Structure formats: C-alpha cells, structure tokens
Amino acid sequence: MLNQYPLWKNLLILGVLLVGAFFALPNVFGEDPAVQVSLSRGAPVEVDLKARLGEILSVAGITAKATEQGESRLLLRFTDTETQLRAADLLREKLGGDYVVALNLAPAMPGWLAQLGPRPMYLGLDLRGGVHFLMEVDMAAAVSQAEARYTGDLRTLMRSEKLRYKSISLQRGSGIKLSFRSAAVRDQARSVAQREYPALLFESQDDGAEFRLRAYLNPTAVEEVRRFALQQNITTLRNRVNELGVAEPVIQQQGQTRIVVQLPGVQDTVRAKEIIGATATLEFRMVDEDHDVQSAQTGRVPPGAKLFRERNGRPILLKKQVMLTGDYITDAASGFEQQTGTPAVFITLDSKGARIFSNRTKNAIGKSMGVVFIENKIETRRVNGKLVRQKRIIAEVINVAVIRDRLGKRFQISGLDSSTEARDLALLLRAGALAAPIEIIEERTIGPSLGQENIDLGFRSVIIGFCLVLAFMALYYRGFGMVANLALAVNLVMIVAVLSMLQATLTLPGIAGIVLTVGMAVDANVLIFERIREELANGNSPQASIHAGYEKAFSTIADANITTLIAAVVLFGFGTGPVKGFAITLSIGILTSMFTALMGTRAVINLVYGGKQARALPL
C-alpha cells in the first residue's frame, strides 16, 4: 500500500500556508517610531503643513525618514526612538495648542504590501508601554444628583399649588422625603406631583403624627441617568485624552458602570493620570464689550474683566462677575429650533437657578454672554522638600451667544453651525454641570523602557525555546523529526498570521502562551511517531505503519487538544487583560497545531516516504 494525499488536499494545505504567510508577512518588517500630527478638533490638516513641519525639524537638524499625508493626520517616521522623542518635543513647542502631536508606532512594511491591507500584530500595553485605567462611575451619586434636582422642583411645585408641606428633603440613597400634616394634602400632593413628574415613583407612608411621601426615580429613569452618566464621562475622557496627544487611544465602555481607558506610548504617565482625573465646572459670564481685547492681551486687563480664550484660541474678554454656575443646570440637550430648524442646545435650570438667572439677565438683553468650561487638575509636586498638591485650572470659553430675552427655567443657545457642534456643546455643558463622579479602580502602567525589554525577552524566549525543541526533535526522531520541525515552524507562522488577522492584542503572557504552544504542539507528532514506532516494532510494513500511526493517534490527539481548549476558553471568559492574552494565543496555538501536526506533516511524509516502497523509515 502507498500513502498518498489526493491533489486537492495538498493544494488546500498549500493554500492555507500561502494565506498564513501573507498575513504574517507585515510582522517581518517591524515598526518605525513615528510622530503623528493632527488638528485638535479633528479637522483635515492643511496641505502646507508638511512643508512647515519639515522646516521646523530641519532647523533643529532632525530629518524624518518619511512623511505621509493622511486625511486628518500627518505621519512622520524616524529611524530611532530618540529622534522621535526629540522631534515630538520640538513640534509640540512650535506648533502650539491647535495641533495634537502624538507618539506612534507605524508599521514599516513596504508600500505595495500596505496597499493590500494586512496589518502586523497589535502589541498590548505591556509590550509597547502605556497606561491602562479601569474607571468606575459612581452611579449611586449620579442617581442622587438627579434626585437632588427634583427636590428643588418639588418644593416649587408644592408652593405654586399651595400645598403646605412640613419638609422636603433628599435622603441620599433612598430618594426624596416629603412630609405633610394631613393625609388629604399628602394625597393631593401625590397626584399633582405624579402628573408633573412622570419619571418619579411615589410611595405613601403613615406614622401617626406625620404623613409622608417618598419619591424616587422609576427604573426607566434610573436606567436613563446611568446611561447618560456613562456617556458623559466617556465624552469628557475623550476630550482630555485628546489634550494628552495619544495616537491610538482606547476609551470604551465595559459592563454597566465602567470605562476602560488605554493610552499606548504615553511617556509621562503621572501627568496622564492627573489630566484624566480632572473635574470640570461651568460658569456663565457676560462679555466685556466696553474694552478692547487687543490691549488686554498686552497685559492691561481692565478691572472687573478677565481674559479668556475660545476653543479656537481667539482671546475674549469676559466680566469678572459670574452670572450663574453650572450647579444649577438640570439638563442640556441638543436639538433643532422649532421656528428656523437650525441646530440648538436646550438648557434647563432648577428653580433656584432660574430665579437667579432671570433676575440677572433682565437688564442684559441684547448683550453677549459666554459659557466658560473649567477643568480643575490636581498636580503633585515637591516644593522645598515637601509634597504639595497644586490645583491647576484651565478655563476655556465654549460658546458666546447674544441674550435675546430674559432667561428663565428653560432657554436655548441657537445660531450654532452644525448639529455636530450642537451635540458637542450639549455634551460639554453636561460634562461641566452634571458629570457623575468617577474613580480609577485599576491601573496598569508599563513604562516605555520596560515595554521594550518585555518584547526583547519575550522574543528571545520564543526563539530559544523553539530552537531547543527543534534540536531535540531532530535528534530524537531524525528524518520524521525534521518534518515535525517544519510543521512547528509553519505553526509559529500560522499563530502570528491569525493574531495579525484578528488584530488580537499580543501581551507578554500571550508570548508565554506561544512558547508553551511550541512545547506542546510537538505532542501530536510525538504521539503519531511513537505509534508508528510501535507498529514497526510489531512487524508491520513501513507504509502500513505510517497509515496506522496517524489513524490510531487521531482520536487521542483530538481528545487531548479539546480538553486543553476547554481550559483555554474558560480562561478567556473569566480573565482580564493579561490572562486573556494568554488564553488567546493558547487557543489559537492549539487549533493551528492540530492543522500543521496532523495534515501538514502527513502531506510532507506522504510526499517524501509515501510514494515508494521504503524499506526503513528514518524514525
């Protein structure tokens, strides 16, 4: 008997091999340290920026290896990390705040390959360096904030409906408590309030002397509040991360209350944390129209005024007196003005805020008012040998509008250019006024030097482990061992190809998973070869032994691999970051090794030994 694969099987194996090699190829070329320049508002970069950057760099004696113009970014490649860092520092200084200058790693594959679309493996933060935060939004506080707004509103409602109450107070964590002197008033209050505020649920409680009503948000409203709280925080985090200058930030919801922030390649991780941990507030101030902005810029700020900047960097002079702070805002939503159909932002104030605002704006009709967005950052520094926590405040005018009417409980900001702008403004207003507290509950930071070290060590242990196994197999199984070695090499290429294709994150434990797979992948071949040896020892012919060896080992290999796969899948399901990385490479390795060790080696052995009546096998 002869051992031969049909042509289609050989072609299939060859096909898989070629596809694998194609997807693994981008990893061969490595990555260039690069600097990415984009406009901070996400607008397309101008055409002459390329020349401008080249000029800035050439003055300092830095040359970029290549410059690539993207749609909304310009990518400068450098030969080494040192030049990259120098260039980034220089560009940050010269370009100013309108541009985001971020460090990046750009795949260094040749142009024709990049055109075809494959991408190299995505390195995890523990390999490229960077910051990973897990943040939790304090949902109890968010709900409590919402109920606090209703507390004021309920008081106003009771007064306007002439319903006398003993007290109305917010009970943190258990809604709003209203108490009345009689059951009749209480019941009337309940029906009025229920009609006015459908988002609230009411519960009557009696206690001899007092007739109580407990109000709390209904489940739909709570859900809404939680969703908003998360969305606002994600928006705010995006804004702040933009300021940091990170090439490929990840800001993602995780579960119902958590946000993952990943900032690859951040150098000063302490600063990153301080910027991310900032809190924001809002202020409404009148524009100072009596004085000149130009002269104020030269240092002569008139008394009673303060110099601010708008988002686009233009200076603007606002009055020192604050009309209203963001604390009184209960809602800000974007939409369209009914009459004109232009984009607008609708703002709702609580009753106290409405009273204050209405008083202060009655004499300001026709004048301009600015909205100031203020970020409070806390920085830790050592001053005279003591640790000092300093507050740094960054204020920015996010909108200027003319007051058309006396402003009350509900008003709108119109005259916005686009619905995107309206949405951004609404989100910023909410972020400043309504943000639920957020806390970092997990941090994993890897400095750039350790990241590089991890890559080097990981790579080296893969190579050395791989070579040790190759040597052992060649010695132990001779010719057949070499076939297994070929399969092992192909297996390594396939793992890299699948990781690149899926763009799964490669982490240090992931590399450990690859190393382990290398050790375990030969197991299938060991099983087969030992079986063939047994068959030969039993006096069977070489061809029959090859056939029986593969046949009999198959179910054992399948069982053994499936059970290991169960463990790997469970790991994936339960693990976080680093453990997941291990589970991914282990699972991929098990699957690809089944293919290479069973089909791959069989094809080669069939080709080399299967066609002729071999007398002895090199085994």
In angstroms, the CA 492 to CA 25 distance is 12
Query: In this chain, which of 217, 372, 436, 527 binds other proteins, going by CB under 8 A?
Result: 527
The residues facing 371 across adjacent strands are 284, 399
Output the smallest distance, CB 213 to other proteins, in A.
34
445 contributes a contact to other proteins by CB under 8 A: yes
In angstroms, the CA 466 to CA 72 distance is 43
Output the smallest distance, CB 575 to other proteins, in A.
7
Kindly identify the residues of this chain, within the stretch 359-418, that bind other proteins according to CB under 8 A.
378, 380-382, 385, 387
Q: What SS3 class is residue 169?
A: strand
Residue 213 CA, distance from chain mean position:
43
Query: In this chain, which of 66, 184, 393, 464 binds other proteins, going by CB under 8 A?
Result: 464
526 contributes a contact to other proteins by CB under 8 A: yes
Which of these, 413, 585, 461, 592, lies nearest to 13 by C-alpha position? Answer: 592
Query: In this chain, which of 172, 210, 472, 503 binds other proteins, going by CB under 8 A?
Result: 472
User: For residues 183 and 567, which CB has a smaller minimum distance to other proteins in the complex?
Assistant: 567
Query: In this chain, which of 56, 250, 444, 540 binds other proteins, going by CB under 8 A?
Result: 444
- Give the range of 109-117, 202-210, 224-232, 448-456 binding other proteins by CB under 8 A: 448-456
Query: In this chain, which of 31, 89, 224, 274 binds other proteins, going by CB under 8 A?
Result: 274
Kindly identify the residues of this chain, within the stretch 14-73, that bind other proteins according to CB under 8 A.
none
160 contributes a contact to other proteins by CB under 8 A: no
Kindly identify the residues of this chain, within the stretch 275-304, that bind other proteins according to CB under 8 A.
277
Output the smallest distance, CB 3 to other proteins, in A.
17
Query: In this chain, which of 54, 415, 437, 465 binds other proteins, going by CB under 8 A?
Result: 465
Pairing of strands 74-77, 31-39: antiparallel
User: For residues 188 and 564, which CB has a smaller minimum distance to other proteins in the complex?
Assistant: 564
Which of these, 504, 467, 508, 505, lies nearest to 488 by C-alpha position? Answer: 467
Output the smallest distance, CB 447 to other proteins, in A.
5
Residues in the chain: 619
CA-to-CA dists, residue 605 to 5, 332, 369, 493, 501, angstroms: 10, 71, 82, 20, 29
How many residues contact other proteins, by CB under 8 A? 85
Residue type, 7: L
Q: How many CB atoms lie within 10 A of CB 110?
A: 10
Query: In this chain, which of 519, 611, 612, 618 binds other proteins, going by CB under 8 A?
Result: 519
Residue 354 CA, distance from chain mean position:
38
Output the six-digit token pair for 204. 């009557």
Output the six-digit token pair for 164. 């006398």
Query: In this chain, which of 192, 530, 544, 591 binds other proteins, going by CB under 8 A?
Result: 530
The answer to whether 484 and 529 are in contact (CB under 8 A) is: yes
Kindly identify the residues of this chain, within the stretch 201-240, that bind other proteins according to CB under 8 A.
none
User: For residues 115 and 555, which CB has a smaller minimum distance to other proteins in the complex?
Assistant: 555
Output the smallest distance, CB 106 to other proteins, in A.
25
User: For residues 413 and 499, which CB has a smaller minimum distance to other proteins in the complex?
Assistant: 499
Output the smallest distance, CB 602 to other proteins, in A.
14
Kindly identify the residues of this chain, within the stretch 310-349, that bind other proteins according to CB under 8 A.
none
Output the six-digit token pair for 180. 């009345």
Output the smallest distance, CB 232 to other proteins, in A.
20
246 contributes a contact to other proteins by CB under 8 A: no
Output the smallest distance, CB 328 to other proteins, in A.
29
183 contributes a contact to other proteins by CB under 8 A: no
Output the smallest distance, CB 527 to other proteins, in A.
6
584 contributes a contact to other proteins by CB under 8 A: no
Which of these, 543, 618, 594, 607, lies nearest to 16 by C-alpha position? Answer: 594
Kindly identify the residues of this chain, within the stretch 423-442, that bind other proteins according to CB under 8 A.
439-442
559 contributes a contact to other proteins by CB under 8 A: yes
Output the smallest distance, CB 440 to other proteins, in A.
4
The residues facing 99 across adjacent strands are 39
User: For residues 204 and 279, which CB has a smaller minimum distance to other proteins in the complex?
Assistant: 279
For residue 18, how many C-alpha atoms fall within 13 Å in the half-sphere facing its CB? 6
Contacts of 152 (CB under 8 A, 6+ apart): 350, 351, 352
The residues facing 206 across adjacent strands are 211
Output the six-digit token pair for 567. 């463990």
560 contributes a contact to other proteins by CB under 8 A: yes
Output the smallest distance, CB 112 to other proteins, in A.
36
Output the smallest distance, CB 36 to other proteins, in A.
23
φ and ψ at 608, to 5 degrees? Answer: -80, -45
Output the six-digit token pair for 598. 């069973």
User: For residues 218 and 556, which CB has a smaller minimum distance to other proteins in the complex?
Assistant: 556
Output the smallest distance, CB 327 to other proteins, in A.
24
φ and ψ at 39, to 5 degrees? Answer: -80, 145
Residue 441 CA, distance from chain mean position:
16
Output the six-digit token pair for 616. 């002895």
Query: In this chain, which of 198, 457, 502, 503 binds other proteins, going by CB under 8 A?
Result: 457
178 contributes a contact to other proteins by CB under 8 A: no
199 contributes a contact to other proteins by CB under 8 A: no
Residue type, 76: L
Helix ranges, 252-292 (H): 269-276
For residue 494, how many C-alpha atoms fall within 13 Å in the half-sphere facing its CB? 27
Residue 473 CA, distance from chain mean position:
44
452 contributes a contact to other proteins by CB under 8 A: no
- Give the range of 78-86, 332-340, 474-482, 599-607 binding other proteins by CB under 8 A: 474-482
Output the smallest distance, CB 436 to other proteins, in A.
17
443 contributes a contact to other proteins by CB under 8 A: yes
Q: Which residue has tokens 């390959």? A: 113
Pairing of strands 305-309, 279-287: unpaired
141 contributes a contact to other proteins by CB under 8 A: no
Output the smallest distance, CB 265 to other proteins, in A.
14
**H or E stretch including 78?**
none
- Give the range of 14-22, 89-97, 420-428, 530-538 binding other proteins by CB under 8 A: 530-538
Strand order, beta sheet including 200-207: 167-170, 176-180, 210-217, 200-207
Query: In this chain, which of 65, 92, 214, 273 binds other proteins, going by CB under 8 A?
Result: 273
**H or E stretch including 118?**
none
